[in-house]
Chains A and B, each alone.
Chain A
Amino acid sequence: MNTVALYIHVPFCVRKCNYCAFYSLPAVGEDTKDAYLEALQKQADSFPEHRQVSSVYFGGGTPSLFGSERLVAMLDFLRTRFLIREDAEITLEVNPGTVDLPFLQRVRQGGFNRLSVGMQSGCDKELAFLGRIHTADMVKTCVENAREAGFDNVSLDLIFALPGQSKESFAASLDAAFALKPDHLSVYSLQLEEGTPFFESRTTLTFPTEEEEEGQYDLLCQKAREAGFEHYEISSFAKEGRYSRHNLHYWQRGEYLGFGPAAHSHWNGKRFANLPDLEGYLADPLGCNDYKKAERIDETEMWEEDVLLGLRTSFGISAHLVPAPPVERMIALGLMVRRGENVALTEKGFRVSNAIIGQLLL
């Protein structure tokens, strides 16, 4: 695989969600956005190779806040520096509270062909609790507009295992999500991250027990199956092969370049990141990273990465990569399966992947 994937980070948000620890800043002025576009282009320009690009992902933050013109301009610029393939997957992450039909039409025309909609929940109370700026109705409108604008590949993000969330309430969110007929679904359990409002108030919140979380997870698997989705990755479900090609590229140890502060790259045998510092990035988009410090990935690490990333997908990894006895034990426990020459985690195995991977690698 010689193609490369591109990730563009847009670190702007209307407001920070209560659970989110990603690098982002409150909305900034138009000047800063212009300056940011320029800096992104400068960084992209520093990679002169005309490598083939199989996928591009604009994430955040809230990329929709960057404005459709800048998004399209950035994509156009990337086309001048890289050979973005005709069939490349070009994803834009949107907050349903920030986009309207003209915006979506503009980015669709500009070449974006996949939309990742931050739905998070189908329940307004939960959305408010999470600190989201949108309602469930706005999600519905957003998806309808996306379809009208010509997006035939729409993914929804959901969060579960919220403090106080009942199984019924999560079931209702799932039903609402499937009713929007998405092509893809990403579902994460809520993680308590340091530096977030949830973390600060953690002692007053009641988080679900392992058993409750398991119950919600089982419900998710069951409903996704009934809706005709394939559970092809730990937290991702796809209809009719509509896998997130960009994410699969990560799990297959493909190379990727990340532009913008806090964006990660895997390039030239190294993994490195831009520093989470917008000012610094604007001042010096080429120097604001830890590339020089990063160690070249050695063979042991490559092997570990192959296993721990590959096992995130239902396609699994070559059986030769891991010792047979623990694999046999996992198979006997229903946590793994053989798929031809490969071994992979089952849905039951996805649940406890850390522990399984730990046993296979150590």
Chain B
Amino acid sequence: MYDIKKIRNFSIIAHIDHGKSTLADRLLEYTGAVEKRDIEEQLLDNMELERERGITIKARAVRFDYKADDGETYRLNLIDTPGHVDFGYEVSRSLTACEGAVLIVDATQGVQAQTLANAYMAVDNDLEILPVINKIDLPSADPAMAKRAVEDIIGIPAEDAPCISAKMGLNIKDVLEKIVTDVPAPKGDPNKPLKALIFDSYYDSYKGVVVYIRVMDGTLSVGDAVQMMHTGAKFDVVEVGTLGAFTLDKKDCLRAGEVGYFTASIKNIGDTTVGDTVTLAENPTPEALPGFKKAQPMVFSGIYPADGSKYGDLKDALEKLQLNDASLVFEPETSIALGFGFRAGFLGLLHMEIIDERLEREFNLDLITTAPSVIYELVLTDGETIHVDNPSNYPDPQRISEAREPIVKASIITPTEYVGSVMQFCLDRRGTYIDMKYLDTTRAELIYEMPLNEIVYDFFDTLKSKTKGYASLDYEPIGYRKSDLVKLDILLNGELIDALSFIVHADRAYSRGRKIVEKLRDNIPRQLFELPVQAAIGGKVIARETVRAMRKDVLAKCYGGDITRKKKLLEKQKEGKKRMRSFGSVQVPSEAFMAVLKMDDES
């Protein structure tokens, strides 16, 4: 029975590891939507990688019924949100599809940076926020402290917040009751022209793209001709339905207030952008939903197969990933050093890491990923402004009249004992101090304006290690700022290795260049001659190391005419050759590039 007053659309906001998926599982279990034995760890995060890292990468949604204490049965739609800073836009769209949000606060740790960022976002979207204090089963739990933190930091009452343990299944019902009583029913009119929000989609090889929507107004039925208001694409709806825990449940239509899916033989996931408005082609709504943005890649890097012959496999794999991830963009790129590969754009560093790992894990590829780059804005001497995301395209410094780099506003929440070292670290990374707030007696929030290129260079991992894993980070772009940038080149035997070039602030060029030539010296195997390794800006060498010539290699004895070892060695050399990059007479194994490009240091 469709009754808009009995619908509750909500999402769960939590910091990584703070129990979002566990709570979701318990809600489904409690209401009988799933059997306990069906739950494979955490239901909503069904990508292997997500489960391992305990983070949600893509949003998912599920519908379930709950018979409340008032005797009525309510239709609940839980819309999951990605739990990482790179996916802020997706989070905002998922929140727009809801009327309320359950805010999970860890009874032992209080509010964290991403929780805060997402909570503010929920407030901005006029969502009813229901704080829930989790992990009260832990000995170190301090629910009173956590409640106070919610009231002080986010500024919402938390006195009645349910105190639960998602892990132990404690007080789950309190959460459900709160959702029913406090989250408003959706507004909307099923008789108006269709206006539905796309908040997620994925590619299915049988149905084509499956589009997740929240209907704001109107009704979507099988057979309707629909149009995406921003991309303009038109489709005939093949299937509509609601979202079960494990299944898509076919229905005849979806009406205002409801959450569900439709398919329409859509081949290209790019046609169903998150945030776009779906309407009827014949009877369109006069205006689209606000807040649509096209996903903008912020971080770029070159991706190359370690074994050059695997280029085709890499291409297939990227195309397959793109089917489910329209925010992944890539185009072919050729490097003198690394051969054929791709230049890919990502929403952020985590997004890049995820794609990288999925390529390696799900497609069994061995990759060389070049240093991540951001988009620089360059005003040329002829007045033209260009954007450069690839160091190879960086123009001659003579032609640049002003260089600008993207700046973000970074919010770091850290235990107070690390404030000093975090501030020093931000300063080292060219951060500008904006503000500091004590959230409670143990934690502070630091606000810095930072160049994004410092964030992409191993910022988060270093921050974590400086704070024993306690600090959390959130950031948002705030525009471009003039900067003293240089392009640093790396030369092997006097030849420029394009894949190792990167753009860096002039003050940091020397230390970064130094580090790279040292790493190369240690990772390039000895050649038959002395091999100079240099870092240079323009034509000027700023750091130099030498890989010494090979002195003596192991001589396989061929006693008694046994030449099997000699032949085995040759086979080994042949194998190694596949992963070898040649520059003139210099041979560098892919591993050396990987070692250099792996940003595992602090600088």
Give me the interface of A with B, judged by CB distance under 8 Å: 5, 7, 9, 22, 57, 59, 188-189, 191, 210-211, 213-214, 217, 234-235, 250, 256, 258, 263-266, 271, 273, 301, 304-305, 308-309, 312, 326, 329-330, 333, 335, 351-359, 361-362
Identify B554's interface contact among A191, A235, A362, CB under 8 A.
A191
Q: Is the CB of B563 within 8 A of A211?
A: no
* A contact residues around B563 at 8 Å (CB): 250, 264, 271, 305, 309
Q: Tell me whether A308 and B570 are in contact (CB under 8 A).
A: yes
CB contact under 8 A between A250 and B553, given known A305-B563, A352-B528, A357-B570: no
- Residues of B close to A358: CB separation below 8 A: 570, 573, 577
Distance of B587 from chain A, by nearest CB (Å): 8
The interface residues of chain B lying within 8 Å CB-to-CB of A330 are 528
Is B294 close to A, CB under 8 A? no
Q: Considering the complex, which residues of chain B in the window 508-534 have a beta carbon less than 8 Å from any beta carbon of chain A?
A: 526, 528-529
- Select which of B555, B560, B587 is within 8 A of A354 by beta carbon: B555
Bound form: Cα–Cα A95–B550 in Å = 35
Query: With contacts A304-B570, A308-B566 known, is A217 near B560, CB below 8 A?
Result: no
A313 smallest CB distance to B (angstroms): 12
Pairwise interchain contact B561-A351, C-beta atoms closer than 8 A: no
In angstroms, Cα B556 to Cα A191, docked, is: 8
Contacts of B564 on A, CB cut-off 8 Å? 264, 271, 273
CB A255 to nearest CB in B, in angstroms, measures 10
| Whole-angstrom CA separation of A326 from B567 in the bound complex | 21
Interface size on B, residues (CB 8 A): 27
Q: Take A9-B560, A188-B557, A264-B560 as given contacts and tell me if A211 and B551 are in contact as well, using a CB distance cutoff of 8 Å.
A: yes
A59 touches B555 (CB 8 A): no
Residues of chain B within 8 A (CB-CB) of A235 are: 555
Give the distance in Å from the alpha carbon of A129 to the alpha carbon of B560 in the complex.
Answer: 25
Cβ contacts under 8 Å, A312 to chain B: 558
> Of all chain B residues, which has the CB nearest A301?
B567
- 30 example contacts (A-B, Cβ-Cβ < 8 A) are as follows A7-B561, A9-B560, A57-B560, A59-B559, A189-B552, A189-B554, A191-B557, A213-B551, A214-B551, A217-B552, A234-B555, A250-B561, A250-B563, A258-B561, A271-B563, A271-B564, A301-B567, A304-B570, A308-B570, A309-B563, A309-B566, A335-B528, A352-B551, A352-B553, A353-B555, A355-B528, A356-B528, A359-B587, A361-B570, A362-B574
**A354 and B554 alpha carbons, distance in the complex (Å):** 8
B569 within 8 Å of A by Cβ?
yes
* Chain B window 558-593, contacts with chain A (Cβ cutoff 8 Å), 1 for yes, 0 for no: 111111101101100110010000000101000000
Given A234, A264, A329, A333, which contacts B561 in the complex, CB threshold below 8 Å? Answer: A264
Q: Given contacts A7-B560, A353-B555, are A210 and B573 in contact (CB under 8 A)?
A: no
- Besides A57-B560, A189-B552, A210-B550, 5 other CB < 8 A contacts? A264-B564, A333-B528, A356-B528, A358-B573, A362-B574
Q: How far is the CA of A312 from the CA of B556 in the complex (A)?
A: 11
CB distance from B33 to the nearest CB of A (A): 59
Q: How far is the CA of A189 from the CA of B555 in the complex (A)?
A: 8
The 4 closest A-B pairs by CB, nearest first: A210-B551, A214-B551, A358-B573, A354-B553
The residue on B at minimum CB distance from A254 is: B561
Q: Report the minimal beta-carbon distance from B22 to chain A, rounded to whole angstroms.
A: 47
A256 x B528 contact (CB < 8 A): no
Smallest Cβ distance from A252 to chain B, in angstroms?
A: 12
**Which chain A residues border B558 with CB–CB below 8 Å?**
250, 309, 312
* Distance, CA A138 to CA B379, complexed state (A): 85
**Which chain A positions have C-beta within 8 A of B555?**
188-189, 191, 234-235, 353-354
A351 touches B551 (CB 8 A): yes
Q: Tell me the complex Cα distance, A301–B569, Å.
A: 13
Contact A214 B570 (CB under 8 A): no
A250 to B559, CA, bound (A): 10
Nearest Cβ on chain B to A10's Cβ, whole angstroms: 11
B552 touching A213, Cβ below 8 Å:
yes
Q: A234 to B569, alpha carbons, bound, how many Å?
A: 17
Task: Tell me the bound Cα distance from A192 to B528 in angstroms.
Answer: 23
Contacts of B574 in A (CB 8 A): 362
Task: Given A304-B570, A308-B570, A333-B528, answer yes or no on A352-B561 (Cβ-Cβ < 8 Å).
Answer: no
* B23-79, CB < 8 A from A: none
* Bound complex: CA A9 to CA B563 (Å): 16
B569 contact from A214, A333, A354, A356, Cβ within 8 A: A354
Give the docked Cα–Cα distance between A333 and B556 (Å).
23
List chain B residues, Cβ under 8 A from A7.
Answer: 560-561
A352 touches B585 (CB 8 A): no
- Shortest CB-to-CB span from A321 to chain B, Å, is 15
Expressed in whole angstroms, the Cα–Cα distance for A333 and B528 within the complex equals 8
Residues of A within 8 A of B528 (CB): 330, 333, 335, 352, 355-356, 359
Centre residue among B528, B574, B585 by max chain A CB count within 10 A: B528
B459 to chain A, nearest CB (A): 39
Complexed CA–CA distance, A214 and B587 (Å): 22
Of all chain B residues, which has the CB nearest A5?
B561
CB distance from B230 to the nearest CB of A (A): 53
Known: A309-B563, A335-B528. A353 touches B554 (CB 8 A): no
Contacts of A210 in B (CB 8 A): 526, 550-552
CB distance from A272 to the nearest CB of B (A): 10
A72→B553 CA distance, assembly (Å) = 40
CA gap between A266 and B561 in the complex, in Å: 8
Asked whether A352 and B560 contact (CB < 8 A) given A333-B528, A357-B570, A358-B573, the answer is: no
- Residues from chain A with a CB closer than 8 A to the CB of B573 are 354, 358, 361-362
Are the C-beta atoms of A273 and B562 separated by less than 8 Å?
yes
Point out the residues of chain B lying under 8 angstroms from A361, CB to CB: 570, 573
Contacts of A326 in B (CB 8 A): 585
Given contacts A7-B560, A273-B562, A356-B528, contact A351 B552 (CB under 8 A): yes
Cα(A232)–Cα(B574), bound, Å: 28
CA distance A188 to B562 in the complex (A): 16
Residue of A with least CB distance to B571: A304
- A333 vs B531: C-alpha distance when bound (angstroms): 13
User: Within the complex, what minimum Cβ distance (angstroms) separates A297 from chain B?
Assistant: 10
Note all chain B residues with C-beta closer than 8 A to A265.
561
Measured CB to CB, the nearest residue on chain B to A215 is: B551
| Least Cβ–Cβ distance between B294 and chain A, in angstroms | 47
Q: Are A59 and B552 in contact (CB under 8 A)?
A: no
Which residue of chain A has its CB nearest to the CB of B558?
A250
Residue of A nearest to B562 (CB): A264
A333–B550 Cα distance when bound, in Å, is 12
Least Cβ distance of B525 to chain A in Å?
A: 9
Contact A258 B570 (CB under 8 A): no
B90 to chain A, nearest CB (A): 48
A351 to B551, CA, bound (A): 7
Known: A329-B585, A362-B573, A362-B574. A355 touches B553 (CB 8 A): yes
